């Protein structure tokens, strides 16, 4: 309103204040996000490395993983008793308007989920952390300013884990295209991302808080698009999209059962039913993988970032890859619909790499780098309904192999988005009168 009041400098002053707000909120959210990610890393290292080493084990025994899952489930259940009851689940998308009073419940449940090995990533709790930091700082500001600050804080916080700030920028652009974010917030969001990333990479002699590089190690170079890769890539995109759709559907059905089934009839809502079932599904997956197939639990548990993906790339057995894909998908579905808290992006990309690696083993001549790009983009698009962000994410993860993977990433993103549109249309028709 000041900009439209006729004063020449009014709009510039208003924009200056908004951009200053973006810088400040971006810095604070990035600090909080980096601190939370460090807690997650230290917790995982303590439970699965430091304590087993202290007890004299070269690797934790099977029962140790089961005990960790049970402990994480107990922490999630304890978090449910706090205000907010762990908030919205990972199947409901991203939320930039969560009440600050809900944050302790959500963040505690996310620690119980991510630290103790359940198959979800940190992006959703980071958004809640960023929005909460902004809401606390701007608690006395105008409600419209506070809402903008919460959006900027959530954007800057998720940027701390997505590596390159332009991945998050594309995410915000797609939100704006869908009408979920006002266009006026785009430039402040970019400034918040830039200030947060500056804090991570450092300035001058200061090395910053550190970045979380998103890349799949061990990929062979990919310099030229091959015909076989395009043909096989379409099939991989369909297959990866279907896998992601099935995992999501299983999670949705589990979540609906918990809310409308036996637990609801007792008047307790989910109660303890869904977390226990989610824990049981995850435990079953690692028990089968360990006993029947000699698959390391680390390939089935956790979100699947970093070295887990490189293990998929190096695996030469189609049977082992198929088993990992099925067991990881089962554990992922259990976490999605089992009352756990976290984000779906990184587990989805792991499934995409698994499908791509499987195709490269089966089809002689197909590039594993190209197939991984297709698979990542397809599974991410199904899970997030964001095709542009999914394509950019695939390019960032696999781009080290060469820029020629970009067309394959686009194929995966488009096919995955089409599959997700079909799922959403089917769901709308199912509830229509």
pLDDT tens digits along 226-256: 999 999 999 999 999 999 999 999 999 998 8
In tens, the pLDDT along 91-122 reads 998 999 999 999 999 999 999 999 999 999 99
Q: Quick one: pLDDT at residue 374?
A: 97
Confidence of residue 427 (pLDDT cuts 50, 70, 90): confident
Q: Quick one: pLDDT at residue 14?
A: 52
The alpha carbon of 5 is separated from its chain's Cα centroid by a whole number of angstroms, namely 43
| pLDDT higher than 70, residue 421 | yes
Q: Quick one: pLDDT at residue 258?
A: 77
Q: Quick one: pLDDT at residue 120?
A: 96
**Which of 174, 177, 170, 135 shows the shortest CA–CA distance to 152?**
135
Q: Quick one: pLDDT at residue 395?
A: 93
Q: Who has greater pLDDT, 429 or 323?
A: 323
| pLDDT higher than 80, residue 71 | yes
DSSP 172-221: HHHHHHTTSS-GGGHHHHHHHHHHHHHHHH-BTTB--S-------TTPPP
Range scoring the smallest mean pLDDT among 1-5, 19-23, 221-225, 264-268:
1-5
The two tokens of residue 231 are 């043909």
Confidence of residue 1 (pLDDT cuts 50, 70, 90): very low
| pLDDT higher than 80, residue 433 | no
**Mean pLDDT computed over 13-40:** 89
Q: CA 172 to CA 149: how far, in whole Å?
A: 14
**Mean pLDDT computed over 372-391:** 96
Q: Which residue is associated with the tokens 């809401």? A: 135
In tens, the pLDDT along 196-233 reads 988 888 887 777 777 776 778 889 999 999 999 999 99
| pLDDT higher than 90, residue 17 | no
**Mean pLDDT computed over 257-276:** 61
DSSP 266-312: TTSTTTTHHHHHHHHHHHHHHHHHHHHH---GGGTSS---THHHHHH
409-412: which pairs have CB atoms within 8 A and are 24 or more residues apart? 409/373, 409/374, 409/376, 409/377, 410/377, 411/230, 411/233, 411/234, 411/237, 411/374, 411/377, 412/233, 412/236, 412/237, 412/240, 412/241, 412/352, 412/373, 412/374, 412/375, 412/376, 412/377, 412/378, 412/381
Confidence of residue 9 (pLDDT cuts 50, 70, 90): very low
Which 3 state secondary structure label does DSSP give 343?
strand
Mean pLDDT, all residues of the chain: 89
The two tokens of residue 135 are 């809401």
Cα four-point dihedral sign 375, 379, 385, 386? negative
| pLDDT higher than 50, residue 265 | no
């Amino acid at each position: 309103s000041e900009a439209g009041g006729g004063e020449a400098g009014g709009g510039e002053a208003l924009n200056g204040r908004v951009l200053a707000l973006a810088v400040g909120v971006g810095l604070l959210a990035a600090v909080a996000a980096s601190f939370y990610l460090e807690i997650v890393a230290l917790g995982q290292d303590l439970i699965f490395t430091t304590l087993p080493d202290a007890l004299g084990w070269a690797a934790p025994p099977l029962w140790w993983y089961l005990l960790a899952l049970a402990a994480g489930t107990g922490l999630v259940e304890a978090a449910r008793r706090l205000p907010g009851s762990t908030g919205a689940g990972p199947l409901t998308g991203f939320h930039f308007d969560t009440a600050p009073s809900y944050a302790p419940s959500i963040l505690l449940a996310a620690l119980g989920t991510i630290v103790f090995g359940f198959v979800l990533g940190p992006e959703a709790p980071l958004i809640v952390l960023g929005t909460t930091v902004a809401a606390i700082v701007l608690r006395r500001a105008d409600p419209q300013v506070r809402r903008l600050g919460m959006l900027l804080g959530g954007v800057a916080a998720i940027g701390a884990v997505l590596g390159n700030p332009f991945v998050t920028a594309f995410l915000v652009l797609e939100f704006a295209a869908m009408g979920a974010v006002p266009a006026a917030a785009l430039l402040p969001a970019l400034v918040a991302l830039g200030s947060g990333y500056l804090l991570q990479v450092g300035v001058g002699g200061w090395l910053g808080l550190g970045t979380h590089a998103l890349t799949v190690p061990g990929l062979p170079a990919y310099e030229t698009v091959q015909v076989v890769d395009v043909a096989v890539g379409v099939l991989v995109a369909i297959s990866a999209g279907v896998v992601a759709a099935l995992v999501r559907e299983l999670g949705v059905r589990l979540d609906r059962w918990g809310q409308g089934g036996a637990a609801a009839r007792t008047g307790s809502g989910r109660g303890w039913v869904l977390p226990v079932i989610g824990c049981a599904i995850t435990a079953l997956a690692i028990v089968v993988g360990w006993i029947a197939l000699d698959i390391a639990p680390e390939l089935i548990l956790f979100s699947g970032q970093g070295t887990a993906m490189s293990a998929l790339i190096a695996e030469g057995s189609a049977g082992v890859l198929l088993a990992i894909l099925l067991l990881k998908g089962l554990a992922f579905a259990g976490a999605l619909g089992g009352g756990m808290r976290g984000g779906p992006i990184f587990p989805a990309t792991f499934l995409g790499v698994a499908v791509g690696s499987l195709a490269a083993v089966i089809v002689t001549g197909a590039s594993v780098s190209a197939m991984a790009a297709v698979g990542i983009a397809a599974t991410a698009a199904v899970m997030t309904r964001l095709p542009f962000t999914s394509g950019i994410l695939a390019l960032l993860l696999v781009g080290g192999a060469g820029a020629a993977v970009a067309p394959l990433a686009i194929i995966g993103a488009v096919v995955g988005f089409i599959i997700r549109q079909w799922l959403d249309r089917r769901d709308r028709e199912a509830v229509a009168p």
